[in-house]
Amino acid sequence: MSINTPLAERLRPQNLDDYISQNHLVGEHGSLTRHIKNGTVPSLIFWGPPGTGKTTLAQIIAQESKRPFFTLSAINSGVKDIREVINKAKTSGGLFTQKNPILFIDEIHRFSKSQQDSLLGAVEKGWVTLIGATTENPSFEVIPALLSRCQVYVLNAFAKAELHQLLHHAIQKDDILKNLSIELIESDALLRISGGDARKLLNTFELVVLSQPEGVIKVTNEMVLEQVKSNPARYDKTGEQHYDIISAFIKSIRGSDPNAAVYWLARMIEGGEDVKFIARRLIILASEDIGNANPTALIMANNTFQAVSTVGMPESRIILSQCAIYLATSLKSNASYLAIGNAQKLVRETGDLPVPLGLRNAPTTLMKDLGYGDDYKYAHDYPGNFAFYDFLPKEISATKLYEPGNNSREQAQRDFLKRRWKDHYPYSDK
């Protein structure tokens, strides 16, 4: 390789013995180790932050299992490219052997549904073993039909000790750096800038080292920061931080901290996050974490989404800030969230219980003769527009799924229900 080849590429491991990190996958007792050694690797999705070795591991798998290796990038490949590669793969591997080719697709989350659909047949028939790499949660970004045919493996960001190991390996083994006199005095700045991204670490290290005059090169934090010029806040809107920071944002609002909420909002805005993504999450929060404690919160969040969709940046930052502060300072309740969760759990436990006859629709004479709708009480025919009726299947008639929250609005709901239902389940005091 030439000096123009980045250090991270020059040091790319060629076998498992040289592969650093991900011991839970490829260590001595790793979940992938035996598959790789036996050459019986299933279709996989590698999910992890940038620079964690997803592409390298796919290449090593192909080499260790002695399979043809084809690669596509989801950024610049279409359905036609996929079909062409699949046709090549079908002719290069044995259709009735375990040596079917590996098709590696980088950033598979960028594929559209139709592009992902075009992979299904080849994976299903075993023409290729698919290995997809993604920085996004595959549960959201990979279609269920394809996801069900693949095993998902999570790759973790490099630990501090592993990053140190990479740096020392570069100093000792790289054909270019090993000929220089390098002393790694301090590494905190390098590790901080890399953010656990091995590729970024190595390439930053090379930039710093090669910028120094001849002689002994003593790498310090000051030297690194001076050369890099800044230590920008890391926000990868296509990677793990995308989820970590939105999580911090939501939890700050849930915890009624408007200061933290606008800080995490600023982190996302400065990182170029899609304002509609932020607004969608505010809509969910308004229902999940505030609900009927303040029904206006959902209206506010929905209007915010409409506003940022119309206005765009940079003004949308003001609208998002207003909404985030409003939601953070609102009364909170997760009663509606818990109620639907309780109801779904009950459905899974009890199955398809029959609808009580009185609640069934009776559009035909036969249904009326069978008693459909017979004893149903039409609420508006009774004083106060209410008449007691058992609306649940008899098997679960005493079940309480909704518990109003401890706030003024939902306390009013609790009082209303008690007045209505009086001595009847499930809202009476008895």
Residue with structure tokens 């559209």?
112
Task: Average the pLDDT over each of 89-98, 286-295, 383-392 and give the range with the smallest value.
Answer: 89-98
Average pLDDT of 157-179? Answer: 91
Quote the pLDDT of residue 4: 74
Average pLDDT of 380-401? Answer: 77
SS3 state of residue 272: coil
Sort residue 212 into left (φ over 0), alpha (ψ -120 to 50) or beta.
beta
C-alpha 320/C-alpha 268 separation (Å) is 11
Task: Average the pLDDT over each of 46-50, 132-136, 234-238 and give the range with the smallest value.
Answer: 234-238
pLDDT at 60 over 60: yes
Quote the pLDDT of residue 241: 62
Question: What are the structure tokens assigned to 418, written together?
Answer: 């008690």
pLDDT at 235 over 70: no
pLDDT at 112 over 80: yes
Q: Which of 77, 58, 80 is nearest to 69 (CA)?
A: 58
Half-sphere exposure of 61 (CA within 13 A, CB side): 31
Quote the pLDDT of residue 231: 44
Architecture of domain 22-154: 3-Layer(aba) Sandwich (3.40)
Quote the pLDDT of residue 3: 60
Question: What are the structure tokens assigned to 338, written together?
Answer: 């818990």
More confident residue, 38 or 11: 11
Average pLDDT of 303-314? Answer: 91
pTM above 0.85, yes or no: no
Q: Do residues 9 and 202 lie in contact, with contact meaning Cβ atoms separated by under 8 Å? A: no
C-alpha 195/C-alpha 160 separation (Å) is 10
Quote the pLDDT of residue 361: 74
C-alpha of 39 from chain center: 30
Question: What are the structure tokens assigned to 286, written together?
Answer: 């308004």
Average pLDDT of 271-291? Answer: 91
Which range among 93-102, 226-235, 379-388 has the greatest average pLDDT?
379-388
Helix or strand (DSSP H, E) at 148: none
Give the confidence band of 96 by pLDDT, cuts at 50, 70, 90. Answer: very low
C-alpha 391/C-alpha 376 separation (Å) is 9
More confident residue, 75 or 9: 9
Architecture of domain 240-328: Up-down Bundle (1.20)
Question: What are the structure tokens assigned to 233, written together?
Answer: 């806040």
| End-to-end CA gap in the chain | 80
C-alpha 7/C-alpha 397 separation (Å) is 68
Quote the pLDDT of residue 63: 87
Average pLDDT of 369-376? Answer: 69
Quote the pLDDT of residue 215: 87
Q: Which of 31, 1, 28 is nearest to 16 (CA)?
A: 28
Report the topology of domain 160-228: Helicase, Ruva Protein; domain 3 (1.10.8)
| Average pLDDT for the chain | 84
Average pLDDT of 144-158? Answer: 91
Quote the pLDDT of residue 95: 44
Average pLDDT of 131-151? Answer: 89
Question: What are the structure tokens assigned to 155, written together?
Answer: 């790759």
Quote the pLDDT of residue 193: 81
